[in-house]
């Protein structure tokens, strides 16, 4: 864990929280890389800062060092970074080498990197060069920030967020999957924000067939997710939005079909439970997080298997009286309940 603050760094936690805040600015754009922020201080004053802005672009340490007006001060500086500096050549050179080249004497790290090509090598390289390295400052906050990245590497599957809207009497669609408006406009806005935050959005056949969703980000600034459709027999009509070819879409099916522009097909092996196959394939495709928007068959399969990390439920005051039942939760892990317009948002974490 981190040592007590030194006289030159009167509040380590303050500077690390600033680095965590900066890291958030890369949400949706840095993936599949982790969110990383970096703050450079000199005698207790911030002289440089940066974050990983976009996949393939400079890392947080590079941007932070480049923002320092007087590089000679780096030899007397203390650097705060939310994730262990990389020690390997990827799309960019190793950040540990950059800090060593500038003679940075002190580095404070929030989390060790679980990625096998880093995993302790960055801090080891810095220490071997004579830098004082402290790790573990605000580690819980750092893991939450990069929960998708940690889950992907530690559990070898995407981070899974299950989301649905249900009526006050426990239905998520009308009889025979008739589409009805359940949640309000504020919930729709929040759903589009969530789509921008996750790498993929997944729905089953009946949800795609009956709701005909776009599964895009239209009411929030941010990138569209990969659309993932479970369509076992490729029964969706060509007029449906997920077949418009406007964004990358991945179909899981029993039928073999060649990929086309913006459409990929993965062939499933028939089984009682298809979700392990799908999650394993998404992991191989480097998909780190999935927002699962339905329908009940997919949601219940994941719930039964315990394959979820977060659940977000919009509960409307509206009642239907009959229809397709929402999943029933016998869970602990309720984290919060908040009002979203006329709806209530229930959030669960899989602890």
The domains found in the chain, sorted by start residue, are 12-151 (3.40.140.10), 156-349 (3.40.430.10)
Q: Which of 345, 300, 292 is nearest to 326 (CA)?
A: 300
Whether pLDDT at 3 is above 70:
no
Cα separation of 108 and 9, whole Å?
11
221 marked ligand binding residue = no
pLDDT beyond 80 at 56: yes
**8 pLDDT more than 70:** no
143 marked as part of a ligand binding site: no
Strands (E), 43-143: 45-51, 78-83, 106-111, 132-135
Is 218 labeled as ligand-binding? Answer: yes
Residue 299 in marked binding region: yes
Mean pLDDT computed over 257-279: 93
User: Quick one: average pLDDT of 127-140?
Assistant: 96
d(CA 155, CA 290): 14
207 is in an annotated binding site: yes
Helix orientation angle between 296-305 and 275-284, rounded to the nearest 10 degrees: 80
pLDDT beyond 60 at 5: no
Contact 165, 183 (CB under 8 A): yes
165 is in an annotated binding site: yes
Q: What is the pLDDT of residue 88?
A: 67
pTM above 0.85, yes or no: yes
Task: Give 153's pLDDT tier (boundaries 50, 70, 90).
Answer: very high
Q: Does the annotation flag 296 for ligand binding? A: yes
Q: Per this entry, what is the length of the chain?
A: 351
Six-digit token string for 105: 């004497």
Angle 125-128-134 from CA coordinates, rounded to 5°: 75
Terminal-to-terminal C-alpha distance of the chain = 24
Average pLDDT of the residues of the chain: 92
293: annotated binding-site residue?
A: yes
- Quick one: pLDDT at residue 90? 64
Active site residues per annotation: 61
* Rounded Cα–Cα distance for residues 289 and 299 (Å): 15
Q: Which two tokens stand for residue 325?
A: 């039942």
Mean pLDDT of 178-206: 95
Token code pair at residue 213: 């969703």
Average pLDDT over residues 248-276: 93
161 pLDDT higher than 50: yes
**Does the annotation flag 347 for ligand binding?**
no
**Residue 2 scores a pLDDT above 50:** no
Would the annotation count 95 as a binding residue? yes
The conformation of residue 241, written as its DSSP 8-state character, comes to: G
Range list of H helices, 104-183: 121-128, 139-145, 147-155
**With 60 as the cut, is the pLDDT of residue 6 above it?**
no
Percent of the chain with pLDDT over 70: 96
């Amino acid at each position: 864990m981190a040592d007590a603050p030194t006289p030159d760094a009167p509040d380590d936690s303050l500077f690390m929280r600033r680095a965590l805040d900066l890291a958030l600015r890369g949400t949706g754009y840095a993936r599949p890389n982790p969110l990383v922020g970096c703050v450079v201080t000199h005698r207790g004053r911030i002289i440089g800062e940066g974050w990983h802005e976009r996949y393939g672009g400079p890392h947080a340490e590079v941007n932070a060092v480049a923002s320092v007006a007087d590089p000679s001060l780096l030899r007397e500086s203390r650097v705060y970074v939310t994730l262990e500096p990389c020690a390997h050549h990827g799309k960019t050179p190793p950040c540990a080498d950059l800090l060593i080249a500038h003679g940075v004497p002190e580095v404070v790290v929030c989390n060790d990197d679980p990625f096998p090509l880093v995993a302790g090598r960055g801090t080891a390289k810095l220490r071997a060069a004579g830098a004082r390295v402290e790790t573990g400052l605000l580690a819980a906050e750092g893991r939450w920030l990069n929960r998708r990245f940690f889950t992907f590497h530690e559990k070898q599957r995407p981070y899974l967020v299950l989301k649905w809207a249900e009526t006050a009497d426990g239905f998520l669609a009308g009889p025979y999957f008739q589409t009805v408006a359940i949640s309000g406009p504020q919930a729709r806005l929040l759903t589009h924000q969530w789509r921008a935050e996750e790498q993929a959005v997944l729905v089953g056949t009946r949800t795609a067939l009956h709701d005909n969703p776009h599964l895009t980000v239209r009411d929030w600034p941010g990138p569209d997710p990969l659309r993932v459709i479970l369509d076992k027999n490729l029964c969706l009509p060509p007029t449906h939005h997920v077949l418009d070819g406007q964004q990358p879409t991945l179909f899981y099916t029993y039928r073999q079909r060649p990929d086309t522009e913006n459409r990929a097909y993965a062939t499933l092996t028939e089984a009682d439970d298809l979700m392990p196959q799908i999650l394993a394939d998404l992991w191989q495709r480097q998909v780190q997080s999935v927002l699962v928007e339905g329908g009940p068959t997919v949601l219940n399969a994941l719930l039964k298997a315990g394959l979820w990390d977060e659940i977000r439920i919009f509960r409307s005051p509206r009642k239907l009286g009959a229809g397709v039942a929402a999943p029933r939760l016998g869970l602990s892990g309720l984290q919060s309940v908040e009002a979203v317009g006329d709806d209530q948002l229930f959030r669960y974490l899989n602890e």
